[in-house]
Protein backbone atom coordinates (compact mmCIF):
# COMPACT_ATOMS: atom_id res chain seq x y z
CA UNK A 1 0.00 0.00 0.00
CA UNK A 2 1.29 3.44 -0.96
CA UNK A 3 -0.02 6.77 0.28
CA UNK A 4 -2.12 7.20 -2.85
CA UNK A 5 -3.23 3.65 -3.76
CA UNK A 6 -4.10 0.37 -2.05
CA UNK A 7 -4.97 -3.15 -3.12
CA UNK A 8 -8.10 -4.06 -1.18
CA UNK A 9 -7.99 -7.35 0.73
CA UNK A 10 -10.62 -9.94 -0.25
CA UNK A 11 -11.16 -8.12 -3.56
CA UNK A 12 -7.59 -7.80 -4.87
CA UNK A 13 -8.56 -4.61 -6.70
CA UNK A 14 -6.15 -1.68 -6.63
CA UNK A 15 -7.84 1.69 -6.10
CA UNK A 16 -7.02 5.27 -5.28
CA UNK A 17 -7.22 5.65 -1.49
CA UNK A 18 -9.57 8.63 -1.74
CA UNK A 19 -13.08 7.35 -2.39
CA UNK A 20 -16.22 9.27 -3.27
CA UNK A 21 -19.52 9.20 -1.38
CA UNK A 22 -22.31 9.89 -3.82
CA UNK A 23 -24.87 11.65 -1.69
CA UNK A 24 -23.51 15.17 -1.06
CA UNK A 25 -24.21 17.00 -4.30
CA UNK A 26 -21.82 16.02 -7.08
CA UNK A 27 -23.35 15.47 -10.49
CA UNK A 28 -23.09 12.68 -13.03
CA UNK A 29 -20.60 14.83 -14.96
CA UNK A 30 -18.50 15.18 -11.80
CA UNK A 31 -18.48 11.39 -11.46
CA UNK A 32 -17.20 11.03 -15.01
CA UNK A 33 -14.52 13.62 -14.24
CA UNK A 34 -13.52 11.87 -11.00
CA UNK A 35 -13.23 8.55 -12.83
CA UNK A 36 -10.98 10.21 -15.41
CA UNK A 37 -8.84 11.51 -12.52
CA UNK A 38 -8.42 7.94 -11.29
CA UNK A 39 -11.05 7.60 -8.57
CA UNK A 40 -12.07 3.96 -8.29
CA UNK A 41 -13.90 3.52 -4.96
CA UNK A 42 -17.53 4.66 -4.89
CA UNK A 43 -20.02 4.63 -2.04
CA UNK A 44 -23.58 4.45 -3.33
CA UNK A 45 -26.16 5.24 -0.64
CA UNK A 46 -29.40 4.03 -2.16
CA UNK A 47 -31.90 6.74 -3.02
CA UNK A 48 -29.55 9.47 -1.82
CA UNK A 49 -26.98 8.36 -4.38
CA UNK A 50 -29.18 8.23 -7.46
CA UNK A 51 -28.03 11.60 -8.80
CA UNK A 52 -24.68 10.05 -9.72
CA UNK A 53 -25.96 6.76 -11.10
CA UNK A 54 -25.74 7.88 -14.72
CA UNK A 55 -22.06 8.82 -14.44
CA UNK A 56 -21.24 5.70 -12.47
CA UNK A 57 -23.06 3.49 -14.98
CA UNK A 58 -20.91 4.96 -17.72
CA UNK A 59 -17.69 4.38 -15.77
CA UNK A 60 -18.66 0.78 -15.06
CA UNK A 61 -19.58 0.15 -18.67
CA UNK A 62 -16.16 1.17 -19.95
CA UNK A 63 -13.80 -0.17 -17.23
CA UNK A 64 -15.77 -2.29 -14.75
CA UNK A 65 -12.77 -4.11 -13.30
CA UNK A 66 -11.07 -0.86 -12.25
CA UNK A 67 -13.95 0.28 -10.04
CA UNK A 68 -15.15 -0.84 -6.63
CA UNK A 69 -18.83 -0.11 -6.02
CA UNK A 70 -19.79 -0.20 -2.36
CA UNK A 71 -23.52 -0.09 -1.66
CA UNK A 72 -24.73 0.81 1.85
CA UNK A 73 -28.30 0.11 2.91
CA UNK A 74 -30.35 -0.39 6.06
CA UNK A 75 -30.78 -4.13 6.52
CA UNK A 76 -33.01 -5.90 9.02
CA UNK A 77 -33.77 -9.21 7.29
CA UNK A 78 -32.37 -11.33 4.48
CA UNK A 79 -35.06 -10.60 1.91
CA UNK A 80 -34.44 -6.87 2.28
CA UNK A 81 -30.74 -7.41 1.53
CA UNK A 82 -31.49 -9.35 -1.65
CA UNK A 83 -33.99 -6.76 -2.89
CA UNK A 84 -31.53 -3.93 -2.23
CA UNK A 85 -28.71 -5.67 -4.10
CA UNK A 86 -30.84 -6.61 -7.10
CA UNK A 87 -32.32 -3.10 -7.28
CA UNK A 88 -28.81 -1.59 -7.25
CA UNK A 89 -27.68 -3.95 -10.02
CA UNK A 90 -30.55 -2.80 -12.23
CA UNK A 91 -29.96 0.86 -11.44
CA UNK A 92 -26.24 0.71 -12.21
CA UNK A 93 -26.49 -1.66 -15.16
CA UNK A 94 -23.90 -4.05 -13.76
CA UNK A 95 -23.84 -7.78 -13.07
CA UNK A 96 -22.36 -7.49 -9.59
CA UNK A 97 -21.65 -5.16 -6.69
CA UNK A 98 -18.20 -5.29 -5.19
CA UNK A 99 -19.32 -4.61 -1.61
CA UNK A 100 -22.61 -4.53 0.29
CA UNK A 101 -22.51 -2.77 3.65
CA UNK A 102 -25.06 -3.20 6.40
CA UNK A 103 -25.76 0.46 7.13
CA UNK A 104 -25.05 1.74 10.66
CA UNK A 105 -25.03 -1.64 12.35
CA UNK A 106 -26.92 -1.69 15.64
CA UNK A 107 -29.17 1.22 14.69
CA UNK A 108 -29.93 1.14 10.97
CA UNK A 109 -29.19 -2.56 10.45
CA UNK A 110 -29.30 -5.86 12.29
CA UNK A 111 -26.63 -8.56 12.43
CA UNK A 112 -28.23 -12.00 12.21
CA UNK A 113 -27.54 -15.40 10.71
CA UNK A 114 -30.38 -14.86 8.26
CA UNK A 115 -28.74 -11.72 6.90
CA UNK A 116 -25.33 -13.40 6.70
CA UNK A 117 -26.91 -16.36 4.87
CA UNK A 118 -28.51 -13.98 2.35
CA UNK A 119 -25.22 -12.17 1.76
CA UNK A 120 -23.28 -15.39 1.34
CA UNK A 121 -25.90 -16.65 -1.14
CA UNK A 122 -25.50 -13.46 -3.19
CA UNK A 123 -21.74 -13.99 -3.22
CA UNK A 124 -22.22 -17.59 -4.38
CA UNK A 125 -24.50 -16.35 -7.19
CA UNK A 126 -21.87 -13.87 -8.38
CA UNK A 127 -24.01 -10.82 -7.59
CA UNK A 128 -21.71 -9.68 -4.79
CA UNK A 129 -17.98 -9.97 -4.19
CA UNK A 130 -17.74 -9.05 -0.49
CA UNK A 131 -19.84 -7.68 2.36
CA UNK A 132 -19.36 -5.70 5.52
CA UNK A 133 -20.84 -2.91 7.59
CA UNK A 134 -20.73 0.73 8.55
CA UNK A 135 -20.58 0.96 12.32
CA UNK A 136 -20.06 3.56 15.07
CA UNK A 137 -19.76 1.11 17.99
CA UNK A 138 -15.99 0.71 18.06
CA UNK A 139 -15.84 -2.06 20.64
CA UNK A 140 -18.32 -4.15 18.68
CA UNK A 141 -16.45 -3.38 15.46
CA UNK A 142 -13.25 -4.64 17.05
CA UNK A 143 -14.89 -7.92 18.04
CA UNK A 144 -16.42 -8.40 14.58
CA UNK A 145 -13.13 -7.54 12.89
CA UNK A 146 -11.43 -10.30 14.87
CA UNK A 147 -14.10 -12.96 14.42
CA UNK A 148 -16.93 -12.68 11.88
CA UNK A 149 -17.54 -13.25 8.17
CA UNK A 150 -17.55 -9.49 7.50
CA UNK A 151 -14.93 -8.46 4.93
CA UNK A 152 -15.27 -4.65 5.14
CA UNK A 153 -15.57 -2.15 7.98
CA UNK A 154 -16.58 1.45 7.34
CA UNK A 155 -15.73 3.29 10.54
CA UNK A 156 -15.68 6.78 11.98
CA UNK A 157 -12.04 7.83 12.19
CA UNK A 158 -10.72 11.38 12.32
CA UNK A 159 -8.60 13.69 14.44
CA UNK A 160 -11.54 14.34 16.78
CA UNK A 161 -12.44 10.65 17.06
CA UNK A 162 -9.19 8.61 16.79
CA UNK A 163 -10.44 5.86 19.12
CA UNK A 164 -10.30 3.22 16.37
CA UNK A 165 -6.55 3.18 17.01
CA UNK A 166 -7.24 1.47 20.36
CA UNK A 167 -10.56 -0.29 19.79
CA UNK A 168 -10.43 -1.57 16.19
CA UNK A 169 -6.98 -1.47 14.61
CA UNK A 170 -5.36 -3.94 17.07
CA UNK A 171 -7.95 -6.57 16.03
CA UNK A 172 -7.43 -6.38 12.26
CA UNK A 173 -4.47 -8.71 11.87
CA UNK A 174 -6.47 -11.92 12.37
CA UNK A 175 -8.57 -11.54 9.18
CA UNK A 176 -7.25 -8.43 7.38
CA UNK A 177 -10.60 -6.82 6.45
CA UNK A 178 -10.90 -3.75 4.27
CA UNK A 179 -11.03 -0.59 6.42
CA UNK A 180 -12.81 2.46 5.05
CA UNK A 181 -12.64 5.66 7.11
CA UNK A 182 -15.44 8.17 6.91
CA UNK A 183 -16.36 11.46 8.62
CA UNK A 184 -12.76 12.60 8.07
CA UNK A 185 -13.71 16.22 8.78
CA UNK A 186 -16.05 15.28 11.68
CA UNK A 187 -18.94 16.67 9.63
CA UNK A 188 -16.91 19.85 9.00
CA UNK A 189 -16.35 20.52 12.71
CA UNK A 190 -12.59 20.35 12.15
CA UNK A 191 -12.81 22.92 9.34
CA UNK A 192 -14.56 25.78 11.17
CA UNK A 193 -13.19 28.21 13.77
CA UNK A 194 -14.46 27.36 17.26
CA UNK A 195 -14.95 29.93 20.00
CA UNK A 196 -12.41 29.44 22.75
CA UNK A 197 -9.98 27.52 20.55
CA UNK A 198 -6.95 29.62 19.67
CA UNK A 199 -5.51 27.29 17.05
CA UNK A 200 -6.72 27.81 13.48
CA UNK A 201 -8.98 25.05 12.12
CA UNK A 202 -7.65 22.26 9.95
CA UNK A 203 -7.86 22.15 6.18
CA UNK A 204 -9.84 19.41 4.47
CA UNK A 205 -6.56 18.13 3.04
CA UNK A 206 -5.13 17.71 6.55
CA UNK A 207 -8.24 15.78 7.61
CA UNK A 208 -7.96 13.34 4.71
CA UNK A 209 -4.20 13.02 5.11
CA UNK A 210 -4.67 12.19 8.81
CA UNK A 211 -6.78 9.18 7.86
CA UNK A 212 -4.49 8.10 5.03
CA UNK A 213 -1.41 8.35 7.24
CA UNK A 214 -2.69 5.31 9.15
CA UNK A 215 -1.37 2.05 7.66
CA UNK A 216 -4.63 0.39 8.75
CA UNK A 217 -6.91 2.52 6.54
CA UNK A 218 -7.27 1.39 2.94
CA UNK A 219 -9.66 4.11 1.76
CA UNK A 220 -10.94 7.41 3.15
CA UNK A 221 -14.29 8.63 1.90
CA UNK A 222 -14.86 12.20 0.81
CA UNK A 223 -18.21 13.83 0.15
CA UNK A 224 -17.57 16.67 -2.31
CA UNK A 225 -20.50 18.95 -3.03
CA UNK A 226 -19.15 20.15 -6.36
CA UNK A 227 -16.22 19.97 -8.80
CA UNK A 228 -14.15 22.52 -6.85
CA UNK A 229 -14.35 20.49 -3.63
CA UNK A 230 -13.58 17.33 -5.56
CA UNK A 231 -10.38 18.89 -6.92
CA UNK A 232 -9.39 20.14 -3.46
CA UNK A 233 -9.87 16.70 -1.95
CA UNK A 234 -7.89 14.97 -4.69
CA UNK A 235 -5.07 17.47 -4.18
CA UNK A 236 -4.61 16.13 -0.64
CA UNK A 237 -3.09 12.98 -2.12
CA UNK A 238 -0.29 15.02 -3.64
CA UNK A 239 0.82 16.30 -0.22
CA UNK A 240 1.75 12.94 1.25
CA UNK A 241 1.37 11.66 4.81
CA UNK A 242 1.29 13.83 7.91
CA UNK A 243 4.56 13.78 9.82
CA UNK A 244 6.25 15.35 12.82
CA UNK A 245 4.96 18.71 13.96
CA UNK A 246 2.09 18.77 11.47
CA UNK A 247 0.76 15.40 12.64
CA UNK A 248 1.13 16.50 16.27
CA UNK A 249 -0.80 19.71 15.58
CA UNK A 250 -3.62 17.88 13.81
CA UNK A 251 -3.95 15.45 16.71
CA UNK A 252 -3.83 18.28 19.26
CA UNK A 253 -6.48 20.26 17.41
CA UNK A 254 -8.76 17.24 17.18
CA UNK A 255 -8.34 16.57 20.90
CA UNK A 256 -9.19 20.20 21.69
CA UNK A 257 -12.36 20.06 19.60
CA UNK A 258 -13.29 16.76 21.26
CA UNK A 259 -12.79 18.34 24.70
CA UNK A 260 -15.42 20.96 23.87
CA UNK A 261 -17.99 18.11 23.85
CA UNK A 262 -20.00 19.96 21.22
CA UNK A 263 -21.94 17.64 18.90
CA UNK A 264 -19.83 14.83 20.33
CA UNK A 265 -21.94 12.19 18.61
CA UNK A 266 -20.69 13.46 15.21
- Give yes or no for residue 167 having a pLDDT over 80: yes
State the pLDDT confidence band at 58, using cuts at 50, 70 and 90. Answer: very high
State the pLDDT confidence band at 48, using cuts at 50, 70 and 90. Answer: low
pLDDT given for residue 178 in this prediction:
99
- Dihedral sign for Cα 17, 21, 24, 30, please: positive
pLDDT given for residue 266 in this prediction:
62
Question: Can you tell me the distance from the alpha carbon of 33 to that of 115, in angstroms, rounded to the nearest whole number?
Answer: 36
Question: Can you tell me the distance from the alpha carbon of 181 to that of 184, in angstroms, rounded to the nearest whole number?
Answer: 7
For residues 111, 167, 181 and 89, what is the CA-based torsion angle, rounded to 10 degrees?
-20
DSSP three-state, residue 34: helix
| Segment 201-218, tens digit of pLDDT | 999 999 999 999 999 999
Does domain 5-259 bear CATH number 3.20.20.100?
yes
DSSP three-state, residue 1: coil
Global confidence as pTM: 0.95
State the pLDDT confidence band at 260, using cuts at 50, 70 and 90. Answer: confident
- Give yes or no for residue 246 having a pLDDT over 90: yes
* Contacts with 41 (C-beta within 8 Å, 6 or more apart), sequence order: 15, 16, 18, 19, 20, 67, 68, 70, 180, 219, 221
How high does pLDDT run on average in the chain? Answer: 95
Query: How many residues are present in the chain?
Result: 266
State the pLDDT confidence band at 153, using cuts at 50, 70 and 90. Answer: very high
State the pLDDT confidence band at 45, using cuts at 50, 70 and 90. Answer: confident
- Give yes or no for residue 51 having a pLDDT over 80: no
- Give yes or no for residue 23 having a pLDDT over 80: no
| Segment 112-132, tens digit of pLDDT | 999 999 999 999 999 999 999
pLDDT given for residue 242 in this prediction:
99
- DSSP-assigned letters across all residues of 132-199: EEEES-HHHHHHHHHSSS--EEEEE-SSS--THHHHTGGGSTTT--EEEEE-TTTTTTTTS--TT--S
* Contacts with 244 (C-beta within 8 Å, 6 or more apart), sequence order: none
Amino acid sequence: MSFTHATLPHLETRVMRLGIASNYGISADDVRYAAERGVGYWLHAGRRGRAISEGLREALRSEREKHVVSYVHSSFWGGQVRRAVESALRELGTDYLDIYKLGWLGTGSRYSQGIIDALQALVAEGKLRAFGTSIHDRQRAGRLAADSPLDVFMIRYNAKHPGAEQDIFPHLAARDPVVVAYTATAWRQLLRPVRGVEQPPLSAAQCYRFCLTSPHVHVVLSGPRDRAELDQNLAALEQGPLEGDELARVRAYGAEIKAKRKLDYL
